[in-house]
Structure 1
């Protein structure tokens, strides 16, 4: 079921539980019964004004406006990532190790667009959708109670250019430095002199949920998946502890990020 279908199902459920037909519901929210029918059958998309009219008339506290906004973001994301986006939104803490790219929650728009374009497998429209989804995901870091985010990067991430653009890398490095100074964000860098270490086998994310359980997210060449098995989580936690030991402390990492930004000027 797509995000749009979920929203339409909830709209139909709201109307029927109140014992209203489409004409009656339309009068309640100042829309025609024909318009209500078109929305519920999917032939006409619900708009922000339509959702706002429902929220006002039924005094829902704005829930349908928020649903429309968040579910639209999910539809922009690739199907394999939608489950993890929901996890991110609920998590109280995120631990993210990345040996290749800047983590999506900390990417600038220019950097995100460049790495998606570099793959050569997406249309311009698909790139636009995924960039928008990626930037919208970052809103969790600006909400009232943001998750605690700890990131460990391999130093190569700071030195690998995208699209041969020094400007994109400078902006991205400066953005990382600014994020590293936020109270709920910590960024550590594994320096070059560490040599080979276990994390180089691949990036991953560990999410701590409100009930203190943990979920993991791993990527490979052929798939990306959310994992919850105790053995899998234990493996990721051991790897996390290893890469944190290999990484520089917070202040030294920030200095290295700022130094990298200067090299791209």
Structure 2
């Protein structure tokens, strides 16, 4: 295999990679589940990669190198078709997000990325250690593009539950917070937003944010936030556990009409 590719214009790079992964698997005589077990992913996910339905995470490519006994060939191919790969978690989730019919989010610390205004998002991205202006603007563009799902002719059902502390944590000052919370209020005509009051105190949601996606004809998938990057999983037992946590957190949240009133009250506090 050569890293110098001559990919026809009518064939996507993802399809080329998927075909090569399938060829290697067949050469070993492994089923989708057989390869999946060796890589730590479901056979269904392997099938998605081979059919170019989902982006392949870099760590999976590295693991595949080992199980196939390769010496960098597959990694070189992956890098060739991903010349400017975004952050690791961002390689899978947006594609899942865009195909979903139902999205559920929980966020205990910040406004969820897909709901962030440009100035709020830029401030959050600048806080990343080692972030350069170029990296921030590149990540910002990707983050804002995700919001296009709200204006599609047939948008997904989207539900957000956020901690009340998110409304009071000032990001880049009063003007940015006023704009951000006003934007959330306008979006409530299209999506569901509920706030968990501070009076709830300690709850399982404070352990970290996550999102759950239901894609027709595919297993549900979940994205879990971590300190350094994110993790995407479609393992049934993991997604079920995360869904149960979401339902538990949502049971503590204000109803939508109370959340709307709380947003209005908080927006007034940020007026200058």
TM-score exceeds 0.5: yes
Q: Secondary structure at the match of 1:9?
A: coil
Displacement of 1:11? 0.6
The aligned counterpart of 1:242 is 248
Q: How do residues 58-69 of structure 1 correspond to structure 2 at under 5 angstroms? A: none
The aligned counterpart of 2:9 is 11
1:172 pairs with one of 177, 180, 185: 180
Note if 1:133 corresponds to 2:142: yes
Structure 1 pair 9/234, CA: closer, same or farther in 2 (3 Å)? same
1:142 pairs with one of 132, 140, 151: 151
Q: Which runs of 5+ in 1 are unaligned?
A: 15-73
| Distance in 2 between residues matched to 1:190 and 1:87, nearest whole Å | 26
Displacement of 1:188? 0.3
| Distance in 2 between residues matched to 1:10 and 1:264, nearest whole Å | 54
The aligned counterpart of 1:35 is none
Q: How do residues 1-265 of structure 1 correspond to structure 2 at under 5 angstroms? A: 9=7, 11=9, 13=11, 77-163=86-172, 165-182=173-190, 185-211=191-217, 213-265=219-271
Q: Which runs of 5+ in 2 are unaligned?
A: 13-82
| Distance in 1 between residues matched to 2:232 and 2:201, nearest whole Å | 29
User: May I ask how many residue pairs the two structures share in their alignment?
Assistant: 198
RMSD: 2.1
Q: Which runs of 4+ in 1 moved over 3 A?
A: 74-77
| Distance in 2 between residues matched to 1:12 and 1:230, nearest whole Å | 35
Displacement of 1:219? 1.1
| Distance in 2 between residues matched to 1:10 and 1:257, nearest whole Å | 52
Q: Which of 1 and 2 has greater Rg?
A: 1
Q: Secondary structure at the match of 2:7?
A: helix
| Distance in 1 between residues matched to 2:11 and 2:127, nearest whole Å | 44
Instruction: Map Cα deviations across residues 50-90 of structure 1 (whole Å, 9 max, x no partner).
Output: xxxxxxxxxxxxxxxxxxxxxxxx95742331210110110
